[in-house]
Amino acid sequence: MAKRNPSYDFKWCPGCGDFGVKRAIEMALTARASEKQEPIENSVIVAGIGCSGNLVHLQEGPQPFGIHGIHGRTLPIAYGTKSANPDLNVLVVTGDGDFLSIGGEHIAPQARRNLDITVVVMDNGIYGLTKGQASPTTDLDEVTPTTKYGKLDDRMNPLMVYLGGGARFVISELSTRIRPLQQAIEDAMNYPGFSIVHVQSPCTTYNDTYAALKGDEENGIKPLAQPISDNHDASDYFQALALAAQPGVPVGVLYRADDTVPAHDRLTEAKQEAGIADTDIEKLFDGMVI
Ligand code: SF4
């Protein structure tokens, strides 16, 4: 049985967006277990380092298995977990610093491989756990402890990175929309391939973006977050790229490729063709880039 560690007492700050993401994940995992008639231990949460990574210890109710890994290496750990047992439902939880900075090099290889996992990225545009340094999604000119005279490099557009890297299912959501976020995570877990749910999850202590995301229409302030139009064709890669390139935060499904063959099916097919046994690990991974 997976068990919650009672001695782990990490606490998020009041109002942190990660609370909403945690609730959505709890509901999505419970709904999945019920729908598929499988134990919740069939799911494994692989966490990165940062405030978001502590989510793995804070799940309430029935506990999935959890791995709190090393900085930026959620994808290699998820790759090993899923390769060892393709029947597991593997969910990565990570933040913009962990996933897009030190972990950034792993995104494209796993996306192109179409590793059948779901990644939930909690983006607060800052390194919260280590007290507010600039992350890849911090805005240009932003003053932080590591950018005392303003950040010199442009803000990364993570949605463009995912699409450019070859991710097959990309959703953009907000931590405040718990029910739609639950549904997005469920859909992503059901998708047979590499899926990313990128969530704007404000850091109330170092980078509170709630007001900017919501806007203030009465005072002429447009919300940063805008629902994706019903006219958007999520199966069209170039429409998805064009939408991701626009300023602001689109909310909904950007891209969903239907012609998807997950990594483990490709591998099984290749092994059968080559006559390689499951136990011949060296031959199996010969030449593969993690
Ligand atoms: Fe959340 Fe920011 Fe506090 Fe970390 S520092 S728990 S991201 S509000």
Q: Which residues line ligand 1 at a C-beta cut-off of 6 Å?
A: 12-13, 16, 18, 51, 124, 128-129, 203-206
pLDDT tens-digit readout, 36-77: 999 999 999 999 999 999 999 999 988 999 999 999 999 999
Give me the mean pLDDT over the 174-196 stretch: 98
pLDDT tens-digit readout, 98-134: 999 999 999 999 999 999 999 999 999 999 999 999 9
Give me the mean pLDDT over the 211-237 stretch: 95
Q: Is the pLDDT of residue 258 over 50?
A: yes
The answer to whether the beta carbons of residues 96 and 123 sit under 8 Å apart is yes
What's the pLDDT score for residue 118?
A: 98
Q: Is the pLDDT of residue 25 over 60?
A: yes
pLDDT band at 289 (very low <50, low <70, confident <90, very high): low
Distance 204 CA to ligand 1 centre (A): 6
Question: What contacts 202, CB < 8 A, 6 or more positions away?
Answer: 15, 16, 17, 124, 175, 208, 209, 210, 213
pLDDT tens-digit readout, 83-95: 999 999 999 999 9
Averaged confidence pLDDT in the chain: 93
CA atoms within 13 A on the CB side of 120: 34
Q: Which ligand 1 atom is nearest residue 52's CA? A: 7
What's the pLDDT score for residue 140?
A: 97
Distance 215 CA to ligand 1 centre (A): 21
Which residue, judged by its Cα, is nearest atom 2 of ligand 1? 203
Q: Which ligand 1 atom is nearest residue 132's CA? A: 5
pLDDT band at 285 (very low <50, low <70, confident <90, very high): low
7-to-19, 35, 112, 153 alpha-carbon distances in Å = 20, 32, 39, 40
Q: Which ligand 1 atom is nearest residue 13's CA? A: 3
What's the pLDDT score for residue 271?
A: 82
What's the pLDDT score for residue 287?
A: 65
Distance 263 CA to ligand 1 centre (A): 35
Share of the chain above pLDDT 90, in %: 82
Q: Which residues pair with 227 in a beta bridge?
A: 251
Q: Which ligand 1 atom is nearest residue 18's CA? A: 1
Which residue, judged by its Cα, is nearest atom 6 of ligand 1? 12
